[in-house]
Structure 1
Amino acid sequence: MRHRRSGGPRLNHDAIGQALPAAIVAVFFPISLIVGLNNKALLPEKFFYDSATLRSRMPIGDPSSGDSFIVMGWIYRQLGGMNHYAEVQIAQMAIFAILLLTCVPWRRLSTFGPLATAGVLYALVSSAVYLAQYSKESLVVVLVLLLRVLPKHWSMDLAFVGAMAVYAQHIRTYWYIIAGLYLVLRVLLPRLRSMGWLPILALVGYVVMAFGLQAVMGQPLSYARDVVSESRTFSQDAQSAIQNYLPTANPVLGGLNAWLTLATLIVPLPLLLSPNPLYLVFCGVTIGLWVGLVLSLRRLLQAGRLRVDVGLTRAVSMIFALIFAQALFEPDFGSYLRHSLPTMPLFFLVLARAQQLPSRRAPLAARSRTEPNHVV
């Protein structure tokens, strides 16, 4: 009887601790919704420039227009969002929440520690800022959700690449590059045994692209970002502009510059020198997400999970395809955060998958019992 009484409180404490992360996230869902619905009163006007432009383009929306804002305005008008701003805010945040829960179901949230749980809350806050408004990212969230629910057959990866190509054709042309990178990574990642190959392959890829762009267009690899940066030289809203670290006229140096930009997107060292506390929070979360991803992916590669887990491999392919392209096109860190938000739930999927692996200290018999089967 004594043994039962002494064990009871410990078991209850463990159960409360396991339920706490999911309970915190559940409480935070309505809080983030309230913040989203009132974000214009809480944030500077610069956060809503794209939203205001989209709203102004809706009356003249045309799917055949070469202006992405006009095309996106037409999509909102066709979906009935032209005069229903609050409903659009709620719908877009709800879709993001659904995406988040497809990546980390409630039962998996119980395995998250304080830092991972804080990351989920940060994702919800970001959705209240960037998705609770008219936004081109709303379609990217739908694309990533589509990636999560597609059947496992390889033909569905081709269908997803086709969907990204449609988005590229009408909204953002550089998504053609993301679609191509996704396809390459989707084939390559299951064959990798070490994370060390990814930065090497990225550097080689950037140098090859730099030579190709120089030969075809006579432009450096940073051309697209340079054009945007020049138009915003005196803007007060581009305080976190991404600079070139090396001369880009030489293709080799241009490729290396893109590789260094990639490194600073993962570890935003330029922002660490800023006194702005929001930048420091952004740096901390970004570094935390990528450290968690790298450590989790290292374990998953060693366990061979990317060879059998289609959903995991698709998620990792999408994460790296996006950031490899962002190193070429993002003009500033604010845009980087906005554009990468739809893939943030995929980071938590990778973390959750790694936590499903048996502990290295577990007996072999326990490992065989807990080793997951083919996972979607």
Structure 2
Amino acid sequence: MKLAILTIRGKPVNPGISALVFLLFSLVVGVIPFAYHDTAAANFPDEDTLLSFFGEDACQLTSTTVEERNSYACSAFLLESAGLSAETAPLAGAILSVALTMIPLFQFRRVSLGVFLVSVGWGFIRAIFLSVLSKDMLSATVVLICVMAARSSYFGWIWLATATLYGWMVRKYWLLVSAVWVGLWMVRKRLTVFRLVMLILLIYIAMALVFQVALGVSLDFARAQVNENREIGAEGSRTIIEAVIASENPIAQALNALITYFRLAFPLELLRFGSVGQLAFIAIMPFTYIWMIRVIVKGVKSKDPKMIQAGKIALAPLSFLIIEGIFEPDFGSFARHFAMVSPLVFSAMALVQQAERAQNRRLLRARMQAQALATTPTPTPEGA
């Protein structure tokens, strides 16, 4: 496979320089977990919580009750089984961060400067949160498996199996992500941008009714519960997501979830903080979202197998974003979690590029054949 080449305004950069740029940013992303580990350990409580479960048999994998399948206990079981510890976490974080940043880029033939910078931006965010032992190492592994299977005809089954397993053992809302992905894939041939928005609203309405009837809670109960118990000054307390529409009505709750969905996709409200990290997130998230939707729409309109496959891949991060509109308590947590699934957007884009290049080659070949036929002299009948 040829190494991807960086392009600036459509003009390819020298392959050697492109390779050096990729190498340089790989090193930068890879160094972050080592340099940031101590700071991350002080700011993020995940590592200490997970380590407290090491050596215990507290994860009941076959249990149907959430309490016995404690997410931290099961995460600790998986991480400890993989041989990870507080000492080896930065190395694992560096490997995952670099792989999830660069492998999708190497799936391109030519990478525009904008796509490269957005991918690397996600890589920086990802590396910060993967600096310590955390559940995110497991979700990053799930996505890495799917990224490597992006061109496989079995991608859908691989995504569904790994996401569902991760949801069963660790983050329960991933089970909803898997269910939404299946639903979107089943109706994908009828999707337009407008219909997609309406479908997302219907999904939220259905969930609001189920939550209220079956569980007796509002659609955003998890977010509200987390933020009620949050201490002032704790991680994410400045960027908490508060309801725009607070109501007991399921329709109003669904509308609020849809508004939150767009707030996450276009996090412009974070401009009031003005920090470098938040400004970077504000810059890269809208581009990622728009590219994701474009891939989905192209997959719907095309009969090309690769284009359809790209749409199937892009539906995975979209399904995740839909569910995040219900559960995510703050923008910091959203950046952390979406950073792990964002590489799928770039793998989908790479597949679209590959399909479009193949289509262009076929059109060029057909045009050249037509020109050749047009310039071939018509033989004169004998005796004319």
Separation (CA, whole Å) in 2 of partners of 1:253 and 1:337:
26
Q: Does 1:50 align with 2:46?
A: yes
8 Å contact kept, 1:95–1:142: yes
Matches within 5 A, 1:92-111: 92-105=93-106, 108=109, 111=110
Separation (CA, whole Å) in 2 of partners of 1:297 and 1:169:
27
Size of the aligned set, in residue pairs, is 348
The code of the aligned residue for 2:184 comes to L
The code of the aligned residue for 1:26 comes to L
> Residue by residue, what CA displacement relative to the aligned partner does 1:209-266 show, whole Å, maximum 9, x if unpaired?
1122212222111111111111015344311101101023110100000000000000
CA RMSD in angstroms comes to 3.0
- Give the corresponding residue for 1:345: 343
The code of the aligned residue for 2:259 comes to L
- Give the corresponding residue for 1:81: 84
TM-score (norm 2): 0.80
Matches within 5 A, 1:57-76: 57-60=53-56, 62-64=58-60, 65-76=68-79
Separation (CA, whole Å) in 2 of partners of 1:267 and 1:14:
30
Deviation at 1:73, TM superposition (A): 1.6
Separation (CA, whole Å) in 1 of partners of 2:132 and 2:231:
27
Separation (CA, whole Å) in 2 of partners of 1:136 and 1:325:
18
8 Å contact kept, 1:248–1:257: no
Deviation at 1:364, TM superposition (A): 7.6
- Give the corresponding residue for 1:206: 204
Q: 1:153 to 1:17 in 2, by over 3 A?
A: closer
- Give the corresponding residue for 2:227: 229
Q: Does 1:32 align with 2:29?
A: yes
Deviation at 1:92, TM superposition (A): 3.6
Q: 1:299 to 1:367 in 2, by over 3 A?
A: farther
- Give the corresponding residue for 2:374: none
Separation (CA, whole Å) in 2 of partners of 1:122 and 1:319:
17
Separation (CA, whole Å) in 2 of partners of 1:128 and 1:142:
13
> Residue by residue, what CA displacement relative to the aligned partner does 1:85-136 show, whole Å, maximum 9, x if unpaired?
343322343234334444332653xx22222111122122123211132111
| Structure 1 gap segments, 5+ residues each | 1-12, 370-376
Separation (CA, whole Å) in 2 of partners of 1:144 and 1:279:
24
8 Å contact kept, 1:36–1:127: no
Deviation at 1:203, TM superposition (A): 0.6
Structure 1 ranges of 4+ moved more than 6 A:
none
The code of the aligned residue for 1:119 comes to V
The code of the aligned residue for 1:208 comes to A
Q: Which has the higher helix share?
A: 1
SS of match in other structure, 1:248? coil
8 Å contact kept, 1:293–1:347: yes
Deviation at 1:352, TM superposition (A): 2.5
> Residue by residue, what CA displacement relative to the aligned partner does 1:12-46 show, whole Å, maximum 9, x if unpaired?
x9653565444312211122222211113555832
Q: Which moved more, 1:61-70 or 1:168-177?
A: 61-70
> Residue by residue, what CA displacement relative to the aligned partner does 1:247-293 show, whole Å, maximum 9, x if unpaired?
23110100000000000000013212323332222111112222333
- Give the corresponding residue for 2:370: none
8 Å contact kept, 1:152–1:310: no
Identity score, percent? 20
Separation (CA, whole Å) in 2 of partners of 1:298 and 1:309:
10
Separation (CA, whole Å) in 2 of partners of 1:215 and 1:308:
42
Separation (CA, whole Å) in 2 of partners of 1:29 and 1:211:
46
- Give the corresponding residue for 1:6: none
Separation (CA, whole Å) in 1 of partners of 2:81 and 2:201:
42
Matches within 5 A, 1:161-172: 161-172=160-171
Q: 1:19 to 1:106 in 2, by over 3 A?
A: farther
The code of the aligned residue for 2:200 comes to A
Q: Does 1:257 align with 2:256?
A: yes
| Structure 2 gap segments, 5+ residues each | 1-9, 61-67, 368-384
- Give the corresponding residue for 2:379: none
8 Å contact kept, 2:26–2:102: no
